Structure formats: C-alpha cells, structure tokens
C-alpha cells in the first residue's frame, strides 16, 4: 500500500465524530504507517505526515490528542521544528509516543518531554502499539479531567469571592460618602468622623485586595523569566530578625491581637529583599490571626544555623483538611459559604510563590479544629 492510499484511509475528515480522538502520526516508514492505520481502524481520527515540517503544521492546525513520532525524524528535524511543539505552544503538554529502531541500545529522551511520553521499538505488532496508545490517552485524559475539576473549583471560587470582595468595601465607600454629601449640614462632627473612619477602612481593604492582585500577576510574570528569577536569588543579604518582629507586630495590631502574638526570633542571615520578606510575613501572620479566635496564641519563630533558616507561623485556629492544604492556590477560599471572612484567597499563594522564587521550601501542617503551622525554609 503506498503512502497516498494510506493517507486516504486516514484523512476522511467527514468520518470524525465528536468522541473520536485525534492522533497525528509523523512517520516515513510504510510498514509502520500501515500497522498503525490498521490498528486504529475507524475508532480514531488519524493525520499522517511524512516530514517534520508537515507534522508541525498539522499539529498546530488540528491540535491532536496524541502524537506518534519517528524518533529519528524528531531528532533530525530541520531547525528542530518538532522540538518547538514541546516548548510554549498550546499543545506542549500532549503525550508523544516515540517510535525507535529495535536495534537501538539506549535512547535518551529528548530535551522537551513530559510525563506522558512513551517509547516503543520497531517493528511492533498492532496490539502492541494499540496498547501504548490507549494507555497514553487514558492517562492523559484522567489528568485533564482532574485539571478541569480544579479549574471549575477555581472558577467557582472566583465567581463567589471576587464580587463580594470588591463591591462590599466599594459599596461602603459610596454609601457613607453619599450620606455625608447629602446630609452634611444635618450631621454632627462625631457622626461625620465616624463615617469617614468607615470610608477609610473600606478604602484600605479595597487597596489591599488590588495590591494582592497586582502582586500575584507580577510574581507570575517573574516566575516565567529565568533572568529575573536569577536576579532575585542573587540579591543582597539581610538580617531578617528586626523586619520579622516589626511586620508581625504590625499585623497583630491591625487584627487587634497584640496580646496574642508570641515572638521567638533568632538572629540569622537571609538572601531576600526587605519588601518581599515583609509581604511573606504580613500575609502568613494576618492569615493566622484571621482564622484563629481572639485570646489564642499566634507564634512567629525563626531558627537559623549554618545550613538553613526556618521561619514558622503557627496558630490554634480553624485548621484545614489534607485536601484543602493540597488545593491551596490563587483565589481559593475554603468553607466561604459557612464562615464569613474577608480576602481574595491570594495571601498564602503569594507567600508561597515568593518563597519558591527565592529557592525556598513552603510547607503547611494543619489539623481541622486544632490549628495550622506554616514553615518556610531557605538554604544558606
């Protein structure tokens, strides 16, 4: 069977229905093509490309669910055209099945691979290639479904939290300012001052929410730029003791919990900008006060040795389930419909991102109704 007739077998696009998986085969060996076409039958939609350039074009055009690729074509493609598929293209995470010669002693994976890549030796039987294809698609589909579930949870959290977080303080500002404007002549000075205090408080809340959104966006951009990450990690050394004490005391005062704060801070050296360290401490300590009852302790500690520096913040508050700890991410708030709370859900993820940008380790230990401990460790 010649290559044109094989192409005709696979390129009847009208046969594709919505539940059929789309597979791209990049191969120039007639025998392998015939085996794969026969194995797939009418159960999959198949595109066949004999060259790297054609395969690259079909991949971008049709966004396949799986790519089966001759390893030699992949490695020797002009200008590494197929390698671009593993970079930042919208199909960079899809699984690849690499076809390799049976007499190959050892084949190293290409630089651009992911956890869903597979290798199969030629020649192969129909049932062998079909088994690998099904395994790759099933594994990838399961991950996509899990990602979709997380996305739906995130969308739900965003749609529930954001309107409340933006409009509640905004409504307060508008409402009290409107009263002052309309009834100024009939209001006493204490009443005006009280409403101005409410306006200021709501404005500060709105300011913090906006700042956190901007900070999160900035951290996302920095994390995608290796040069900026390297610049952060080579910043000057600071002694964090005074910064942590000052920032933790400020967070305690704002929460009206000064008597609940316990500080156990040693001297140490940390490679980090002062502003980012303040942001980490502010978010974690404020979070500890927010989710623990007044009169219970919030302990902020720092231990240092020749190997590392560890900063910990612990409380005896609401706590989280293991599933909630794993799911911590941007805009995620847990039990929001049960407990009234303020915030966009960005605090912990911002602290975590800053920590990781500096090469640190961010962990959370938490037990429901017993409390939470956040540990941050930086190697010296």
d(CA 306, CA 380): 7
Query: Is residue 135 included in any domain, yes or no?
Result: no
d(CA 290, CA 205): 14
Residue finishing a domain among 193, 221, 249: 221
CATH for 99 = 3.40.50.2300
In this prediction, residue 199 carries a pLDDT of 94
Query: Is residue 266 included in any domain, yes or no?
Result: yes
231 and 213 housed in the same domain:
no
Q: Name the token pair of 169.
A: 């303080």
208 and 242 housed in the same domain:
no
CA nearest neighbour of 373 among 307, 311, 328, 306: 311
CA nearest neighbour of 379 among 314, 300, 313, 304: 304
C-alpha R_g of the chain: 28
317 and 367 housed in the same domain:
yes
3-state SS, residue 376: strand
CATH for 157 = 1.10.287.130
Residue finishing a domain among 57, 92, 124: 124
Query: Is residue 143 included in any domain, yes or no?
Result: no
CB count, 10 Å around CB of 250?
16
Query: Is residue 57 included in any domain, yes or no?
Result: yes
H/E segment holding residue 93? none
210 and 251 housed in the same domain:
no
Cα distances (Å, whole numbers) of residue 161 to 33, 108, 241, 342, 344: 52, 47, 35, 9, 7
Residue finishing a domain among 191, 221, 251: 221
Domain count of the fold of the chain = 3
CA nearest neighbour of 341 among 142, 229, 205: 205
Query: Is residue 67 included in any domain, yes or no?
Result: yes
**330 burial via Cβ count (<10 Å: 0-12, 13-18, 19+):** buried
In this prediction, residue 13 carries a pLDDT of 38
Q: Give the distance from CA 85 to its chain's centroid.
A: 21
174 and 281 housed in the same domain:
no
Strands 237-238 and 270-271: antiparallel
d(CA 99, CA 327): 37
60 and 198 housed in the same domain:
no
In this prediction, residue 69 carries a pLDDT of 93
67 and 152 housed in the same domain:
no
In this prediction, residue 10 carries a pLDDT of 41
232 and 374 housed in the same domain:
yes
pTM exceeds 0.75: no
Phi, psi of 266 (to 5 degrees): -95, 165
In this prediction, residue 32 carries a pLDDT of 93
d(CA 137, CA 46): 14
321 and 369 housed in the same domain:
yes
232 and 303 housed in the same domain:
yes
206 and 284 housed in the same domain:
no
d(CA 343, CA 151): 20
Query: Is residue 303 included in any domain, yes or no?
Result: yes
Query: Is residue 320 included in any domain, yes or no?
Result: yes
Query: Which residue range forms the structural domain that includes residue 76?
Result: 3-124
164 and 279 housed in the same domain:
no
CB count, 10 Å around CB of 248?
24
CATH for 232 = 3.30.565.10
d(CA 360, CA 318): 26
Q: What share of the chain is helix, strand, coil (3-state, %, to 5)?
A: 55, 20, 30
Return per-residue pLDDT of the chain as tens, 380 residues. Answer: 344 444 444 444 333 334 578 999 999 999 999 999 999 988 889 999 999 889 988 888 888 889 999 988 888 866 577 877 776 556 677 889 999 987 654 444 444 455 568 889 998 999 999 999 998 888 888 777 766 666 565 555 555 555 566 778 888 899 999 999 999 999 999 999 999 999 999 998 888 888 887 888 888 788 878 788 888 888 777 889 999 999 999 999 999 999 999 999 998 888 888 999 999 999 999 999 999 999 999 999 999 988 899 999 999 998 888 777 776 654 444 444 433 444 445 788 889 989 989 989 999 998 988 999 999 999 87
């Amino acid at each position: 069977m010649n290559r044109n007739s094989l192409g005709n077998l696979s390129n009847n696009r009208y046969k594709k229905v919505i539940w059929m998986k789309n597979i791209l085969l990049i191969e120039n060996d007639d025998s392998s093509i015939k085996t794969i076409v026969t194995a797939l039958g009418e159960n999959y939609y198949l595109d066949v490309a004999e060259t790297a350039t054609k395969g690259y074009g079909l991949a971008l055009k049709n966004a396949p669910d799986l790519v089966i690729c001759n390893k030699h074509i992949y490695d020797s493609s002009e200008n590494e055209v197929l390698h671009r598929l593993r970079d930042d293209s919208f199909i960079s995470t899809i699984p690849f099945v690499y076809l390799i010669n049976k007499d190959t002693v050892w084949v190293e994976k290409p630089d651009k691979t992911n956890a869903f890549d597979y290798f199969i030796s030629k020649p192969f039987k129909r049932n062998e290639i079909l088994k690998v294809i099904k395994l790759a698609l099933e594994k990838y589909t399961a991950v996509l479904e899990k990602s979709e579930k997380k996305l739906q949870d995130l969308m739900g959290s965003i749609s529930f939290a954001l309107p409340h977080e933006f409009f509640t303080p905004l409504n307060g500002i508008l409402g009290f300012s409107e009263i002052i404007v309309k009834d100024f002549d009939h209001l006493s000075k204490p009443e005006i001052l009280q409403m101005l205090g409410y306006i200021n408080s709501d404005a500060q809340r709105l300011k913090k929410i906006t700042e956190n959104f901007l900070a999160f966006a900035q951290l996302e951009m920095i994390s995608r730029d290796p040069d900026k990450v390297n610049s952060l990690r080579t910043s000057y050394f600071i002694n964090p003791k005074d910064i942590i004490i000052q920032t933790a005391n400020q967070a305690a005062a704002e929460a009206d919990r000064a008597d609940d704060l316990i500080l156990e801070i040693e001297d140490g050296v940390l490679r980090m900008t002062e502003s980012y360290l303040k942001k980490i401490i502010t978010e974690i300590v404020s979070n500890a006060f927010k989710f623990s009852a007044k009169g219970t302790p919030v302990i902020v500690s720092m231990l240092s040795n020749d190997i590392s520096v560890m900063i910990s913040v612990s409380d005896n508050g609401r706590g989280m389930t293991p599933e909630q700890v794993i799911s911590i991410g941007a805009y995620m708030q847990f039990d929001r419909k049960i407990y009234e709370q303020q915030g966009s859900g960005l605090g912990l993820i911002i602290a975590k991102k800053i920590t990781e940008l500096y090469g640190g380790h961010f962990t959370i230990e938490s037990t429901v109704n017993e409390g939470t401990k956040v540990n941050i460790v930086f190697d010296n």
